């Protein structure tokens, strides 16, 4: 996929999936703007010295001013929203603060990045937005035991479809992927007895994201694409 001359914002670009996405974008010729929160993320980020990468320190992507800081220097062809957080918990064990933490890190951050991206793309004549939902956003019963996370990611899915309809005539195609548990070091550590072979690899999920964000995607919009692998 050819991203030559294209600028792409990638929130969550220093995480496991984000690194795989950024790698594909850079291989395709893109320049990337990547917000980050923790300095340790940058130290682990393999492309931190790449001339086509701009890293932007932020404190919180659920804060409008911080999101504006990222997009103030951007003229993005695409905006990819991976940033978020996960916390398990049954409803009976989840207080309002825990619920709002999941909504802010997953849904509000995505909403604000979408808003900033749309305003930038309206000025430039179009583009692509790709959000990251999760399997429970499509299969609510699978969200038992992680209800706050499921609520937040279901919101991301609904936002994706509604926004896609809003901006289709402006040349902005909006989609999302919905991964199942991905094969990452952190997930292997958390679930050491699981069958890792059935989990989708981050590179495989990244390939789907890259296509949806690419100029080669001419018609797909309003999709929540399952990326489950064999799981």
Encode 116-135: b = buried (16+ Cβ within 10 Å), e = exposed.
bbbebbeeeeebbbbbbbbb
Instruction: Supply the pLDDT for residue 25.
Output: 98
Distance CA 10, CA 58 (A): 13
- Answer yes or no: is 168 within a domain: yes
> What pTM did the predictor assign?
0.96
- Answer yes or no: is 1 within a domain: no
- Residues of the domain holding 153: 7-227
- Answer yes or no: is 35 within a domain: yes
Yes or no: say if 4 and 77 are a contact pair by the CB < 8 Å rule.
no
Q: Structure tokens of 211?
A: 């296509």
Number of domains in the chain: 1
Distance CA 173, CA 164 (A): 6
- Answer yes or no: is 83 within a domain: yes
| Residues β-bridged to residue 128 | 78, 173
- Answer yes or no: is 2 within a domain: no
**What are the pLDDT tens digits along the chain (231 aa)?**
899 999 999 999 999 999 999 999 999 999 999 999 999 999 999 999 999 999 999 999 999 999 999 999 899 999 999 999 999 999 999 999 999 999 999 999 999 999 999 999 999 999 999 999 999 999 999 999 999 999 999 999 999 999 999 999 999 999 999 999 999 999 999 999 999 999 999 999 999 999 999 999 999 999 999 999 998
CATH label of the domain that carries residue 20: 3.40.50.720
Q: Can you say how many angstroms the Cα of residue 47 is from the centroid of all Cα atoms in its chain?
A: 18
Residue that is written with structure tokens 């706050």 in the block: 148
């Amino acid at each position: 996929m050819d991203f030559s001359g294209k600028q792409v914002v990638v929130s969550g670009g220093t995480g496991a999936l984000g690194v795989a996405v950024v790698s594909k974008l850079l291989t395709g010729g893109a320049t990337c703007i990547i917000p980050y929160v923790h300095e340790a993320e940058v130290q682990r980020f393999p492309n931190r010295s790449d001339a086509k990468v701009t890293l932007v320190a932020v404190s919180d992507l659920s804060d409008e001013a911080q999101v504006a800081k990222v997009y103030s220097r951007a003229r993005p062809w695409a905006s990819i929203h991976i940033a978020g957080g996960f916390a398990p918990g049954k409803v009976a064990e989840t207080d309002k603060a825990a619920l709002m933490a999941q909504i802010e890190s997953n849904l509000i951050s995505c909403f604000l990045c979408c808003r900033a991206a749309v305003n930038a793309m309206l000025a430039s004549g179009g583009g692509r937005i790709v959000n990251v939902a999760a399997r429970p956003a499509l299969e609510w019963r699978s969200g038992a035991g992680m209800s706050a996370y499921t609520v937040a990611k279901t919101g991301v899915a609904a936002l994706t479809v509604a926004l896609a309809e809003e901006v289709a005539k402006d040349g902005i195609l909006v989609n999302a992927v919905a991964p199942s548990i991905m094969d990452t070091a952190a997930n292997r550590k958390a679930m050491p007895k699981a069958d890792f072979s059935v989990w989708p690899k981050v590179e495989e999920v990244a390939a789907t994201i890259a296509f949806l964000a690419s100029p080669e995607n001419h018609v797909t919009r309003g999709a929540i694409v399952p990326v489950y692998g064999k799981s």
